[in-house]
Amino acid sequence: MRVTIVKGIGDDRIDIARPDGTTAHTRFPKKGPVPHDAVHYIVEGALGLKRGFWGMIAGGLHPEDVQEIAKAAGHASARRANIPDASIVELLQAERLVECFEATLWSGDCDASSLREVARAGCTASHVPLPEMSDAMILGIAARVSALRDAWGPAPVDHCWSFEWRAA
């Protein structure tokens, strides 16, 4: 699946082309120095998560449908702290980890042990196990997220960042 994220002014755009010829397009508001769904790509790819956000999109879902599916399957949040359906465990793991790696962009530091403990707390609150991650893996993901920030931030409007997602 080919994914292209296009930098906008107030929001960014995602264009998706699946191997079966289907496409999906969506826009999302800027919430930080890099596109949130780009961090999902880095985290989910590094950890081999097959049913995270991008795995669900590769499976045919539209990006805007993922949140509703998560809610219906027991997404754990302050108001919906339920044991999630097994079908969204990797999605929730990815979301908690993406939040942690995005936080390193604001703090300017990534201490593997601290990130792991914050991620563990987030996963516990979402009723999912923390994926196994070595210190080297955590630091490698953080470096890729930082490199994305360094390239994305100064890039002009209409800059494209593309990647291939290989479905399992």
Mean pLDDT by 10 residues, the chain (168 residues): 96 96 94 94 97 95 88 61 85 95 87 95 93 97 96 97 88
Scored b (16 or more CB within 10 A) or e, 28-51 reads beeeeebbbbbbbbbbbbbbebeb
Cα radius of gyration (the chain):
15
How far apart, in whole angstroms, are the C-alpha atoms of residue 33 and residue 99?
Answer: 13
Question: What are the residues whose beta carbons fall under 8 Å from the beta carbon of 42, sequence distance 6 or more?
Answer: 101, 141, 144, 145, 148
Question: What are the residues whose beta carbons fall under 8 Å from the beta carbon of 162, sequence distance 6 or more?
Answer: 2, 3, 4, 5
Q: With H, G, I as helix, E, B as strand and everything else as coil, classify residue 24.
A: strand
Q: How far is CA 90 from CA 15, 73, 96, in A?
A: 23, 12, 10
Residue-level pLDDT at 81: 61
Q: Which residue has the tokens 């931030």?
A: 153
Residue-level pLDDT at 78: 43
Residue-level pLDDT at 83: 84
Amino acid at position 10, single letter: G
Residue-level pLDDT at 51: 95
Question: In three state form, how does the secondary structure of 49-89 look?
Answer: CCCCHHHHHHCCCCHHHHHHHHHHCCCCCCCCCCCCCHHHH
